[in-house]
Amino acid sequence: MKKDLLTFNDLTRDDVHHFLARAAALKAERRAGVFHYPLRGKSLGMIFNKHSTRTRISFEVGMNEMGGHSLFLTGDQLQLKRGESLQDSARVLSRYLHGLLIRTYDHDEVVELARWADIPVINGLTDLSHPVQVLSDLFTIQEKLSRLDGVKVAYVGDGNNVTYSWILAASLMGMHLSVATPPGCRPLMPETRAGDGVVEIMDDPLAAVKDADVIYTDVWVSMGQEESEEKIRCLKPYQINQQLVEATGREPLVMHCLPAHRELEITSEVMDGKHSVVFDQAENRLHVQKAILETLLSR
């Protein structure tokens, strides 16, 4: 396994299966009240330049539950904000910490930090990608459907950082991903993709969801983007509603990485309905983040 987790290109299929197996074990142990402390004496720095509920809390609680400690650092308060270089910051932080999680705008900054850090660097979301979210989503799908190989996921909505990570993940894990977005909201396409999954990008949400095992969506306006009435108007036909769920012709799982804007990208009827697994999906962030921390920080 590589030192850092910056995108799915850092992972092999075996790495993903390792994380999913460890997350399942950690989830079962937590439910049984069994804890172990492999990260005793270890510290995780967490730099957040954007808002977060799930990522921050799941990593922070995960460190605590495994005997470690986390430091919540807002970019504003670090000397980075006053011009200290990423190189110098990474080299200094490596002398104190055992791992660094960062959520920021420019993906290249995370790559630069990882290049100079001697400790593992984990991408907690950039404008380009959100791998820890999608790794956790794979866990939820495997938990609910008992397989990943050949599963059809329809991603409907704005093509963003989560979509980009889904394209890499589906390719790697042999899944079938149909992405439906308006032409002006296409995701960035990864330059390289390992694996034998199928990825299709299309305009038509009804075509994308046909025979889907999973329907997935995310916010229409991501952090750092400007909300525009025109974008919302373009995305209206891409709302996850009862009609779209029925258009699968199946009993699909409905997923959303959250936070949700109810009645925009997803209706409350669907989000609170029988197909929705969004709150299990949110819970699973904790178990998967623990698996990542345990693996990367206890080496």
Q: Which residues bind ligand NVA (CB under 6 A)?
A: 125, 160-162, 218-219, 222-223, 257
Q: What residue is closest to ligand NVA based on CB?
A: 222
- Which structure tokens are listed for 160? 């963003």
Nearest one of 101, 88, 127 to 4, comparing CA atoms: 101
Is 257 assigned a catalytic role?
A: yes
- CA dist 163 and 128 (Å) reads 9
Question: Among residue numbers 231 through 270, which ones bind ligand CP (CB under 6 A)?
Answer: 257-259
| CB nearer ligand NVA, residue 19 or residue 216 | 216
Is 218 assigned a catalytic role?
A: yes
Cis bond before residue 237 (omega within 30° of 0): no
In this structure, are residues 104 and 177 in contact, taking their beta carbons and an 8 Å threshold?
A: no
Is 133 assigned a catalytic role?
A: yes
Q: Give 100's strand partners.
A: 45, 121
Is 88 assigned a catalytic role?
A: no
Is 79 assigned a catalytic role?
A: no
In this structure, are residues 14 and 1 in contact, taking their beta carbons and an 8 Å threshold?
A: no
| CB nearer ligand CP, residue 171 or residue 281 | 281
Applying CB under 6 A, which part among 50-58, 183-191, 204-212, 262-270 lies near ligand CP?
A: 50-58
- CA dist 32 and 60 (Å) reads 21
Is 285 assigned a catalytic role?
A: yes
- CA dist 101 and 46 (Å) reads 5
Binding partner of 123, given ligand NVA, ligand CP, none, CB within 5-8 angstroms per partner class: none
Give, as one character, the DSSP assignment of residue 255: E
Shortest Å, Cβ 162 to ligand NVA: 5
In this structure, are residues 59 and 66 in contact, taking their beta carbons and an 8 Å threshold?
A: no
| Active-site hit among 22, 158, 176, 257 | 257
Question: Among residue numbers 54 through 83, which ones bind ligand CP (CB under 6 A)?
Answer: 54-55
| Active-site hit among 22, 98, 103, 256 | 103
| Active-site hit among 4, 22, 107, 133 | 133
Active site residues: 103, 130, 133, 218, 257, 285
Residues lying near ligand CP in the complex (CB under 6 A) are found at: 52-55, 125, 133, 257-259
